[in-house]
Structure 1
Amino acid sequence: MSPRSDSLFMRALRREPVERTPIWLMRQAGRYLPEYRATREKAGSFLDLAGTPELACEVTLQPIHRYGFDAAILFSDILILPHVMGRGLGFKPGEGPYFERPVQTVADIDALPMPDPEDDTGYVMDAVRLIRESLPEATPLIGFAGSPWTVATYMIEGRSSKDFARAKRLLLAEPDGAERLMNHLADATADYLAAQVAAGADALMVFDSWGGVLSPRLYERFSLASQQRIVDKLKRTCPDTPVILFGKGCGQHLENLAETGCAGLGVDWTLDLSEARVRVGDRVALQGNLDPAVLLTNPEVIAAETRRVLDSYGSGPGHIFNLGHGITPEVPPEHVSVLVETVREHSRVK
């Protein structure tokens, strides 16, 4: 067994016994770190940062060097795929991502190209290869992508949205066309993730940030089904690579997500891990689920809330400590140190 396969993170994903709970954080490479801000300034723009393998490698490694997290996650963006599909991705300071050419009609959907992972997103694969070469041998690397529904919201709305009115309207008014969009994105995403594995990723994660805004019926047809399509395809192309699914606001769908064949489920802070564990049984590992706002408080509160999350999961295998969503830019780096130290001390098997 390789050092990475025998790591705490990979063993926890397989629900095997571990000496302590492994920890990594969503957006652990980000604006809360002064070293990240310095690299971001050097890059000139977010797209240049994500599109330059050496810089993407640098920021991926920064939180590993500072905190010694039990896994690294590729620094990239969930909108890379629609960007290489020709939708014209840009970023405005203070406003976030936007697309110059949003998807507006079924004809736009049917005209979308199918990207080639190495030809069209080769810089991502180069970054994965460089990160893998640069990481400690025993530290696993997580590759990732956005869920088809979440990516589609940006493609249809053209930018971030509060009510997702255009995207929901497409699902309701043009369900067959919307389904073709989800299937197209699912197939492109599965190929993209499989290429990350070939380049050196040890595990994969799919982020469904906006699954929670859909009604149960629309969620099952357009979000859950497309994630199932990704998992099924990955099981054929890279069957030994574990997949984690994370859906924000998707606690009501936990059992259905556990049935997809994924190895792990990310849980947001709106659901206690004790309840989540009962509901999924021994089917999947659970990842989470501290509210990121806790890191804005003080060391005493951080330590207490971290212990609460660990106690909520309880004893036994299958837990990876993480936040219930991404770390926010205002978090003091020293507060993350308190979190990491508390997890390592409180979860250690005596």
Structure 2
Amino acid sequence: MECHDLSSFTKIKINLHFGVMEHAFEPLKNDLIIRAAWGQKVERPPIWVMRQAGRYLPEYHQAKGTRDFFECCRDPEVASTLTLQPIERFAGLIDAAIIFSDILVIPQAMGMTVEMVDKKGPHFPNPLKSPDDGQYAEVMNKKVDVAKELDYVYKAITLTRKKLQGRVPLIGFCGAPWTLLCYMVEGGGSKIFKEVKTWIYKYPEETKALLQKIAEVCVEYLALQVKAGAQLIQVFDSWAGELSPSSFKKFSQPYLEYIAKHLPRKLKEMGLDPVPMIVFPKGAWYALDAACDMGYNVVGLDWLHSPEQTLKTVGDRPITIQGNADPGVLYGSHASITEVVEEMVKGYDWANRKKGWIVNLGHGITPFVNPEDLRFFFQEVHRLTKTD
């Protein structure tokens, strides 16, 4: 949905497994992040944070109950409830919701089993071992019915849009092909990335074929999220920093570019308006310049970037930057939080530019953060960027 359509109801036809339904969503009352993402001047920088709906919130644990993590993702009512929790707790302070889901639903849709192990994280009981193990051929040959396999995500998005009642826009997302590949061959998180490094250096062509397959699924998945009601999308390349600059150009960048190029085309084919696209290549500090030319509207930064150097790299390109406070500051004092916010406001030259910046952390909220310290972070952003 483009900015000039915000004053009227948006009708979107949702293709669900039980048929085609038409949904009317309430007009947006706060379109700040959409305008900022499109590069427009805005009255203050919009704010949201990654993992804003999650385990640091006591109400998250109450709503989750005894359900498995992926059970929550697959239950549209629960997923929408969790999505809305930070919007309700921090009412008036944050400018976007992000649908409660997980990047690993794509490998699941591609036929792989993924479990969420308590205190350990995601686990693939049968990761891809090599191009010769048989499972690689199964994954490559599987015709992924994204509409059917991930129907629960689209239902959650539509339900959440209705519950939001136009308070703030809703962000949809996916994992980047490289990051998803890492999980699919490592079997979970890793410190040395032995298996995926084996793949890229021993089986480079098979790796690229799999990355292309994942990228195509990502485009279809994101397009259907927009059809269901997502108003922006973000692509999380969480393990981008594990690649060398030359390897990034081979195994990450082409597939991020594929998504940025083909998603707008897909939306047009479906009769849908374009939405702002955000890319987040975490840890790949060397790739900032390239990321600005990949076709995304917004480039998300981790906390390894300085705002001043970032603006120099971006130059006069019409790119909005998203980030990039160290999430660890939320463990610190309020004075430290104020200092970090002041550094960002000054570093991104907000007083003079009034555009090109979405406030966020440099990654997701980490465990055990006090929600009231996050509230203070939001309040300081508002205070220090307030226009009289």
Q: TM-score range by the shorter chain?
A: over 0.9
2:328 counterpart residue number: 293
Using the TM superposition, give the Cα deviation of residue 117 of structure 1 relative to its aligned residue in structure 2, in angstroms: 2.2
Q: Is the 8 A contact 2:44 2:387 kept in 1?
A: yes
Aligned pairs, how many? 349
Matching of residues 310-349 of structure 1 within 5 Å:
310-315=345-350, 316=353, 317-349=355-387
1:235 to 264, 286, 289: 264
1:99 counterpart residue number: 124
Counterparts of 2:148 and 2:325, CA distance in 1: 39
Deviations 1:84-137 (A, max 9, x none): 222111111111111122111225333212422221100001001101111131
* 1:8–1:178 distance in 2 versus 1, CA, 3 Å: same
2:82 counterpart residue number: 59
Matching of residues 152-301 of structure 1 within 5 Å:
152-238=181-267, 240-281=274-315, 282-301=317-336
Q: Quick one: which amino acid aligns to residue 118 of structure 1?
A: A
Using the TM superposition, give the Cα deviation of residue 40 of structure 1 relative to its aligned residue in structure 2, in angstroms: 1.7
2:59 counterpart residue number: 35
2:31 counterpart residue number: 7
Counterparts of 2:337 and 2:371, CA distance in 1: 13
Structure 2 residue 146 is matched with structure 1 residue 117: yes
Counterparts of 1:85 and 1:234, CA distance in 2: 19
Counterparts of 1:4 and 1:278, CA distance in 2: 34
1:46 counterpart residue number: 69
Structure 2 residue 165 is matched with structure 1 residue 136: yes
Q: Is the 8 A contact 1:81 1:115 kept in 2?
A: no
Using the TM superposition, give the Cα deviation of residue 5 of structure 1 relative to its aligned residue in structure 2, in angstroms: 9.3
Query: For structure 1, which runs of at least 5 residues remain unmatched after alignment?
Result: none
Q: Quick one: which amino acid aligns to residue 96 of structure 1?
A: G
Using the TM superposition, give the Cα deviation of residue 59 of structure 1 relative to its aligned residue in structure 2, in angstroms: 0.3
Counterparts of 1:181 and 1:252, CA distance in 2: 25
Using the TM superposition, give the Cα deviation of residue 307 of structure 1 relative to its aligned residue in structure 2, in angstroms: 1.6
Deviations 1:216-247 (A, max 9, x none): 12111111111111111112122611110001
Structure 2 residue 101 is matched with structure 1 residue 76: yes
Q: Quick one: which amino acid aligns to residue 40 of structure 1?
A: K
Deviations 1:249-295 (A, max 9, x none): 11210111111110000011111122112211233100000000000
Query: Is the partner of 1:309 in helix, strand or coil?
Result: helix
Identity of aligned residues (%): 38
Q: Quick one: which amino acid aligns to residue 36 of structure 2?
A: A
Query: Is the partner of 2:65 in helix, strand or coil?
Result: helix
Query: Is the partner of 1:86 in helix, strand or coil?
Result: coil
Q: Is the 8 A contact 1:109 1:177 kept in 2?
A: no
If each structure's helix is expressed as a fraction of its own residues, which one has the higher value? 1
Using the TM superposition, give the Cα deviation of residue 9 of structure 1 relative to its aligned residue in structure 2, in angstroms: 0.4
Using the TM superposition, give the Cα deviation of residue 6 of structure 1 relative to its aligned residue in structure 2, in angstroms: 6.7
2:9 counterpart residue number: none
2:18 counterpart residue number: none
Query: Is the partner of 2:280 in helix, strand or coil?
Result: strand
Q: Which moved more, 1:239-248 or 1:149-158?
A: 239-248
Query: Is the partner of 1:111 in helix, strand or coil?
Result: helix
Counterparts of 1:335 and 1:261, CA distance in 2: 35
Q: Is the 8 A contact 1:32 1:329 kept in 2?
A: yes
1:18 counterpart residue number: 42
Q: Which moved more, 1:278-287 or 1:261-270?
A: 278-287
Query: Is the partner of 1:31 in helix, strand or coil?
Result: coil
Query: For structure 2, which runs of at least 5 residues remain unmatched after alignment?
Result: 7-26, 268-272
Using the TM superposition, give the Cα deviation of residue 345 of structure 1 relative to its aligned residue in structure 2, in angstroms: 1.1
Counterparts of 1:5 and 1:251, CA distance in 2: 35
